[in-house]
Amino acid sequence: MKKQTLLLTALIVLLTNITPVQAQKFEGLADTPAMGWNSWNKFACNIDENIIKGIADQMVETGLRDAGYIYLNLDDCWHGERDSLGFIQADPVKFPSGIKALADYVHARGLKLGIYSDAGRKTCGGRPGSFGHEYQDALQYARWGIDYLKYDWCESEDINPVGAYNLMRDALRAAGRPIYFSMCEWGTSKPWKWAAETGHSWRTTGDIYNCFDCIDQHPGFAAYGVLQILDMQEGLRKYAGPGHWNDPDMLEVGNGQTVGEDRAHFTLWCMLAAPLILGNDLRNMSQETKDIILNKEAIAIDQDKLGVQGLKLKAEDGLEFWFKPLAGGDWAFCILNRTTEPKTYTIDWQKFNFTDEEVSKLSTDFDKKVYTVRNLWTKDTKKSVEGNTKKIKQVTIPGHDVLLYRLSEQVKKNKR
């Protein structure tokens, strides 16, 4: 009882000593989009500490950690009840060792632990939400050693989203531990317009559905396939950048779509400079899945330090042409085939002369510059260097698949 009284006293002191300077998110946590794994897409509420420990081990053994996937995030249903002072506790059956012990296990493997809560009265899975307990929950997360918070929006009737998310941001700041703040408000209040100083990323849509081109409709809400979510990103790129990212939801790569669809899904999220949060069972992956999520050259497109989200430049005959400016004058170029049939296309680089007036102000200058063209999904290095942008090139894009290139300006050699 004495320990509980001391904790309550500490919380009261904390709440009464907050200054306006503290009311800001932690900087330096999202200079590039977050990378990691989340439990929801594969396991939903069926999680426990043994599963999470197994995932942590696989993130190390498969090389995912070294490729940049450092966050291991618990989603909904880890919760138990609140104690007599209102502090949230872990489910004693699913997590008998507690979250602090789990965080220690994850940290010992060079990873960071994320957790889930909700701005409403209950989470989407019916567990206790953070409404009315924001500062207590933030303090508890800090004590446990949490590094990332996904903050959802269920049971939020009559709650103002700007106030709710700013309140949790301030609570995290007051607790003192740098925690990445992932806002999962589903884009309802257009957070891209107001949340750059609130969160490190914000969801732009409702939930993703494990389908490349479909809508999963339910009474009152819907979940969306990859292409549907991609279309919803139109007009949002100007709001993203280092420290604050548009989040089109977690990845479904490895959860049963075709290899081409998985490759396209992953590529497009890289072009969008989206958080790369895996959602498959890492303990049981095909080689094709590993090849996709561990493609370091594709990951480098997502993690490029220029921090500019890609744009769809044009579309024709079921094909879309995407460009993303990169640091050092490079460009990423993606051709997406939205149809189910293979498409043959002749690339005339001069047709893609443009300036990114909206964000980077950079130009491709294909009429002035010569770029080497590297296919980032070709495994044979000799074949992956596919000429330069002075040449007209014919390519075939399989149905529901992509081609992804990195364009690097050729350096002219001085004549002697």
Domain of 141, CATH number, reads: 3.20.20.70
3-state helix, strand, coil in the chain (%, to 5): 30, 25, 45
In a domain, 387, yes or no: yes
Choose among 239, 260, 264: nearest CA to 251: 264
- Which backbone phi and psi does 209 adopt, to 5 degrees? -120, 145
The answer on 366 and 330 residing in a single domain is: yes
CA pair distance 266, 388, nearest whole angstrom? 25
CATH code for the domain of 354:
2.60.40.1180
In a domain, 6, yes or no: no
Residue 5 CA to its chain's centroid (Å): 40
Residue 380 pLDDT = 54
379 DSSP assignment:
S
The answer on 360 and 230 residing in a single domain is: no
List the catalytic residue out of 76, 137, 147, 207: 207
List the catalytic residue out of 152, 247, 281, 330: 152
User: pLDDT for 189-212, tens place per residue?
Assistant: 999 999 999 999 999 999 999 999
The answer on 183 and 61 residing in a single domain is: yes
Residue 220 pLDDT = 85
Of 302, 328, 344, which residue is a domain's last? 302
The answer on 157 and 116 residing in a single domain is: yes
In a domain, 249, yes or no: yes
User: Which residue, chain included where needed, has tokens 């949060």?
Assistant: 277
Choose among 153, 149, 221: nearest CA to 185: 153
The torsion of the CA quartet 238, 244, 248, 249, rounded to 10 degrees, works out to: 180
Of 278, 302, 326, which residue is a domain's last? 302
Report CA Rg, the chain: 23
In a domain, 3, yes or no: no
Residue 388 pLDDT = 82
CB atoms within 10 A of CB 401: 21
Q: Are 176 and 206 in contact (CB under 8 A)?
A: no
90 DSSP assignment:
E
Residues of the chain with pLDDT under 70: 1-23, 379-386, 412-416
Residues spanned by the domain of 198: 16-302
CB atoms within 10 A of CB 363: 16
Specify the pairing of strand 401-409 against strand 371-375.
Answer: antiparallel
Residue 386 pLDDT = 63
In a domain, 10, yes or no: no
Of 268, 302, 336, which residue is a domain's last? 302
Which element (helix H / strand E) includes 88?
strand 88-90
Residue 326 pLDDT = 98
Q: Are 336 and 268 in contact (CB under 8 A)?
A: yes
Q: Which amino acid is at 212?
A: F
Q: Which amino acid is at 284?
A: N
In a domain, 2, yes or no: no
The answer on 196 and 130 residing in a single domain is: yes
Q: Are 54 and 210 in contact (CB under 8 A)?
A: no
Residue 379 pLDDT = 63
The answer on 170 and 245 residing in a single domain is: yes
Query: Residue length, the chain?
Result: 416
- Residue by residue, what is the 3-state secondary structure of 95-147? CCCCHHHHHHHHHCCCCEEEEEEECCCECCCCCECCCCCHHHHHHHHHHHCCC
- Which residues contact residue 187 at a Cβ distance below 8 angstroms, ignoring those fewer than 6 apart? 202, 203, 204, 205, 206, 232
In a domain, 39, yes or no: yes
The answer on 186 and 83 residing in a single domain is: yes
In a domain, 395, yes or no: yes
Choose among 120, 166, 135, 140: nearest CA to 80: 140
Known active-site residue 152:
yes
The answer on 292 and 345 residing in a single domain is: no
The torsion of the CA quartet 138, 140, 144, 150, rounded to 10 degrees, works out to: -40
Known active-site residue 304:
no
The answer on 279 and 134 residing in a single domain is: yes
Handedness of CA 395, 396, 399, 404 (dihedral sign): negative
The answer on 295 and 234 residing in a single domain is: yes
The answer on 318 and 243 residing in a single domain is: no
The answer on 361 and 295 residing in a single domain is: no
Domain count, the chain: 2
Residue 389 pLDDT = 83
Tokens read off for 403: 């081609």
